[in-house]
């Protein structure tokens, strides 16, 4: 297999990427196809679907190895389950699967048809192996059981510190929304004993520094 394209994402690094697709609905990306499959004929009819499945490679962990059990963040990072009962990127084959919104297909004079995506959980540069249309009558199973991930994660309150108000106000409105959505999901590792630690996440081309205490995320600076 070889990648059909790469993702241009608002997430500049793995830290901060939502752990599931759709949790940050405004998080956006472009899927740029490789020259060998860039024909407009390859995406004919795809724009009639609101969502697509994206099959991709966890390229940033490729070659790092895997273990039979992992510690999912949803279990606090201190309980183990089998790797096949998780969505951990550290897998025997580093393959990921996400359902994302297809906002449209832009015809670019150099890159050909570019797929405009939102609700993504893909880091910039992610290689994509395939896309398939999401078909609601077959793919949506409301009665399905979700074990330890049966409900969406709780969200934090996000506030902007006084010293960051000016820089936050200079962000594009959609970028502001992405920052707030992502930080509300608490991107820290599941085990985070340093409650006063300042974290930084590369979001929408900016270094967003924040801390979390008492269930509240405070944006401290935006560079």
Domain that holds residue 133: 5-139
Does residue 216 have a pLDDT over 90?
yes
Residues 166 and 88 in one domain: no
In the numeric block, the tokens 């015809």 are attached to 107
Q: Tell me the pLDDT tens digit for each residue of 14-66.
A: 999 999 999 999 999 999 999 999 999 999 999 999 999 999 999 998 788 99
Quote the CA–CA distance of 12 and 203 in Å, as a whole number: 6
Which of 80, 108, 139 finishes a domain?
A: 139
Q: Report pTM.
A: 0.92
Alpha carbons within 13 A on the beta-carbon side of 8: 10
Instruction: Check: CB of residue 105 under 8 Å from CB of residue 73.
Output: no
Residues 71 and 13 in one domain: yes
Please enumerate in sequence order all residues whose Cβ is within 8 A of that of 52, keeping only pairs 6 or more positions apart, or say none: 46, 99, 100, 102, 115, 117, 131, 132, 133, 134
Average pLDDT over every residue of 158-178 = 97
Average pLDDT over every residue of 124-148 = 95
User: Is residue 189 one of the residues assigned to a domain?
Assistant: yes
Alpha carbons within 13 A on the beta-carbon side of 33: 23
Residues 174 and 105 in one domain: no
User: Is residue 146 one of the residues assigned to a domain?
Assistant: no
User: Is residue 166 one of the residues assigned to a domain?
Assistant: yes
Average pLDDT over every residue of 142-162 = 92
User: Is residue 144 one of the residues assigned to a domain?
Assistant: no
User: Is residue 149 one of the residues assigned to a domain?
Assistant: no
User: Is residue 96 one of the residues assigned to a domain?
Assistant: yes
């Amino acid at each position: 297999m070889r990648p059909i394209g790469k993702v241009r994402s608002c997430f500049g690094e793995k830290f901060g990427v939502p752990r599931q697709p759709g949790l940050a609905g405004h998080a956006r990306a472009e899927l740029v196809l490789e020259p060998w499959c860039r024909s407009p004929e390859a995406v004919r009819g795809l724009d009639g679907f609101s969502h697509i499945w994206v099959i991709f490679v966890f390229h940033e962990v490729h070659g790092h190895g895997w273990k039979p059990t992992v510690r999912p963040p949803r279990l606090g990072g201190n309980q183990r389950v089998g790797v096949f009962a998780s969505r951990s990127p550290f897998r025997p084959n580093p393959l990921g699967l996400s359902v994302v919104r297809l906002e449209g297909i832009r015809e670019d004079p150099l890159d050909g048809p570019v797929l405009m995506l939102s609700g993504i959980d893909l880091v910039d540069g992610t290689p994509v192996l395939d896309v398939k249309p999401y078909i609601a009558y077959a793919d949506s199973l409301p009665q399905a059981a979700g074990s330890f991930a049966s409900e969406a994660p709780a969200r934090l309150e996000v506030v902007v510190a006084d010293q960051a108000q000016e820089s936050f106000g200079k962000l594009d409105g959609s970028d502001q929304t992405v920052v707030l959505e992502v930080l509300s999901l608490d991107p820290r590792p599941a085990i985070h004993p340093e409650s006063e630690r300042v974290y930084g996440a590369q979001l929408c081309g900016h270094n967003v520094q924040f801390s979390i205490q008492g269930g509240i995320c405070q944006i401290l600076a935006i560079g």
